[in-house]
């Protein structure tokens, strides 16, 4: 371990091997830090935080602080973090609440840029990118490969589908369908996240079929989308990605305010 003499590391903290902790950082008594992590200058980690290996915290990142929720009264909730994540300068992540799942969860290989915020009870899967100043309200779920660009903000209980792309300054109040590009205020689906899917290694044939599904759903005079969904799902050759898109849209349509999670948890 390499711990700067001005850092404060509680004797109860569990620190892995080859960990660096920079000047004026604080690590609380219930914190577990895995191997090969770098904790930057002035970082603050408190509460029940369990962190995997090879995570990098830029200066003044703050992890594990109490939820910004008036219903929280010091309950023993937590923040769990996987491996190979980057938390840049001034990123903040809160622990969970008992009205959620009791935990905020961050998976592997996520990149949280400067001043982004992850609220209580959020779930970030893997390979998620939050660009500068992105804000996630409590109970949000961001699926694998999704990307939110600068200063986009998500309402509590929003689900952002896998490999979705959200443009800068976008206000997200409804679930964002997987594989799509969303932008604006109010936000609208603008097309398929073609570049993101190419970078993720999706075949051209998959991308083309998603475009066809997008046109059928969003460029039609048919007002009853169930008819469109039924037609797409009845195709025995429909790819799994298209079926995933349709099922996501059905679930959100039938939920409270277009936010599936809001109907399944207490607000």
* Residues noted as catalytic: 120-121, 138
Contacts of 227 (CB under 8 A, 6+ apart): none
For residues 53 and 34, the answer to whether their CB atoms sit within 8 Å is yes
Going by C-alpha positions, the residue among 134, 66, 145 that lies closest to residue 104 is 66
Contacts of 101 (CB under 8 A, 6+ apart): 121
Strand order, beta sheet including 86-87:
2-3, 20-21, 38-39, 56-57, 86-87, 111-112, 129-130, 147-148, 165-166, 180-184, 187-192
Would you report the helix, strand and coil content of the chain in percent, each value rounded to 5?
20, 30, 55
Give the whole-angstrom CA distance, residue 157 versus residue 174. Answer: 9
**Residues pairing with 259 in the sheet:** 256
Instruction: Tell me how far CA of residue 18 lies from CA of 1, 2, 85, 102, 264, in angstroms.
Output: 5, 7, 16, 30, 42
What are the tokens at 247? 């099922």
- The torsion angle over the Cα atoms of residues 243, 245, 142 and 263, rounded to 10 degrees, is -90
Give the whole-angstrom CA distance, residue 247 versus residue 179. Answer: 13
């Amino acid at each position: 371990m390499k711990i700067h003499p001005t850092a404060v590391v509680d004797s109860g903290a569990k620190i892995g091997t080859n960990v660096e902790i920079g000047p004026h950082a604080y690590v609380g008594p219930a914190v577990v830090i895995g191997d090969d992590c770098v904790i930057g200058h002035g970082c603050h980690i408190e509460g029940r935080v369990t962190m995997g290996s090879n995570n990098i915290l830029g200066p003044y990142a703050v992890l594990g602080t109490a939820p910004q929720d008036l219903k929280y009264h010091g309950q023993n909730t937590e923040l769990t973090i996987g491996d190979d994540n980057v938390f840049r300068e001034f990123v903040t992540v809160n622990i969970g609440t008992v009205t959620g799942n009791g935990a905020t969860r961050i998976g592997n290989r996520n990149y949280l840029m400067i001043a982004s915020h992850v609220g209580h009870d959020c779930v970030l899967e893997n390979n998620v990118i939050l660009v500068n100043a992105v804000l996630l309200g409590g109970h949000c779920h961001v699926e694998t490969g999704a990307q939110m660009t600068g200063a986009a903000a998500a309402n509590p209980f929003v689900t952002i589908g896998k490999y979705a792309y959200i443009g800068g300054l976008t206000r997200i109040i409804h679930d964002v369908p997987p594989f799509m590009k969303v932008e604006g205020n109010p936000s609208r689906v603008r097309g398929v996240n073609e570049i993101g899917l190419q970078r993720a290694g999706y075949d051209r044939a998959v991308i083309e079929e998603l475009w066809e599904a997008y046109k059928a759903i969003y460029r039609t005079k048919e007002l009853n989308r169930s008819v469109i969904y039924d037609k797409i799902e009845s195709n025995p050759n429909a790819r799994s990605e298209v079926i995933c898109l349709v099922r996501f849209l059905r679930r959100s349509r039938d939920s409270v305010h277009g936010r599936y999670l809001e109907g399944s948890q207490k607000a």
